[in-house]
Chains A and B, each alone.
Chain A
C-alpha cells in the first residue's frame, strides 16, 4: 500500500448525487481539474444530481439554506421566502469572480475536454425523464453495472 500511494492517479469516475448548487459544483470542479492534469475522467449523474444535466433546470440550481449547517444560519431564517434565492445569487457572484463558469457552460467545457457524461438509468426511469430533457453533452443513459464497467481500473469519487 505504501507504494501505491505514490502512484499517480490516471483515471477517475465522479458521481454527482445532489442537485443543489453546492452539491453539483465540487464534482464538476474535480472532473475539470482531472482533465487539466491529464487524468481520464467521467461524470455520472444520479438522483437529484440529474438536475445539473436537465436543460430546463441546469441553470436554476439553488443553494440549500435549510438543513445545511454549513450556511451557519438558523433553520427558520433559512426558510424565509427569498432566502435561498439570495444565497444562490451571492454564491453565483463569488463563483464567477474566481472564473468558474455557470453550470451549462462548465458542462460544455468539461465535455469538450474529453470527459464523458452519463445519466443514471434508475433515476431516469424513476423520474420518467426522456432523452430530450437532457443537455447535448450527455453521452448516454447507463445502468449502475455499466457505470462500474466504465469505471474499471480507476478511482470512484462519490459526491
Chain B
C-alpha cells in the first residue's frame, strides 16, 4: 500500500498501483493515470472501454474479463490490445480507478 501524486493530490494505491478509493477517481485523474501508464491521450475508444469497466464493476464488484470486454464493450480484441498494449484488462482497470481484475480470462 502506498500513495501516488496526481495533480497535486496524494492518492492511496494498492500493491498493483491501482487506486484504492473509487471516490478518488474522476476523468481528469483518469487522463493523468493514463499518462503515467504510458498512454498519452485517451481517445473515445479508450473511454468506451474505461466507462464500460466502471459500469460492470459497479454492477458486479469485479472488473470484466477480456472476453466480456470483447463481447460487450463495443471494442474488439485486436483493438483492445492496440489501445492498451501489454494487457488491456489490467491497464484499462488501472486507468478506470479500479482494482486489477481477478478473473483468469
- In the complex formed, the residue of A with least CB distance to B65 is A99
- Chain A residue numbers with a CB within 8 Å of B104 are 29, 33, 98
Taking the complex as formed, is B46 at the interface, i.e. its CB lies under 8 A from any CB of chain A?
Answer: no
Q: Mark A76-101, 1 if CB is under 8 A from B, else 0.
A: 00000000000000000000001111
Complex contacts, B85 vs chain A, CB 8 Å:
38
Q: How many residues of A contact B (CB 8 A)?
A: 16
How many residues of chain B are within 8 Å of chain A by beta carbon? Answer: 18
Of the listed residues B65, B68, B89, B90, the one surrounded by the most CB atoms of chain A closer than 10 A to its CB is: B65
Q: Which of B6-14, B18-26, B74-82 contacts A (4 or more CB under 8 A)?
A: B74-82
How many A-B residue pairs have C-beta atoms within 8 angstroms? Tell me.
45
Main secondary structure of the interface of B (DSSP, over half): helix
Flag if A29 contacts B81 (CB, 8 Å): no
Which of A32, A36, A98, A108 is close to B90, meaning CB atoms less than 8 Å apart?
A36
Task: Establish whether residues B105 and A98, one from each chain, have CB atoms under 8 Å apart when the complex forms.
Answer: yes
Residue A59 CB within 8 A of the other chain: no
In the complex, chain A residues 17-39 whose Cβ is within 8 Å of any chain B Cβ: 29, 32-33, 35-38
Given contacts A99-B105, A101-B67, A109-B67, contact A36 B89 (CB under 8 A): yes
Interface, chain A (partner B; CB < 8 A): 29, 32-33, 35-38, 98-101, 108-109, 112-114
- Complex A-B, nearest 3 residue pairs according to Cβ-Cβ distance, in ascending order: A38-B86, A112-B77, A38-B87
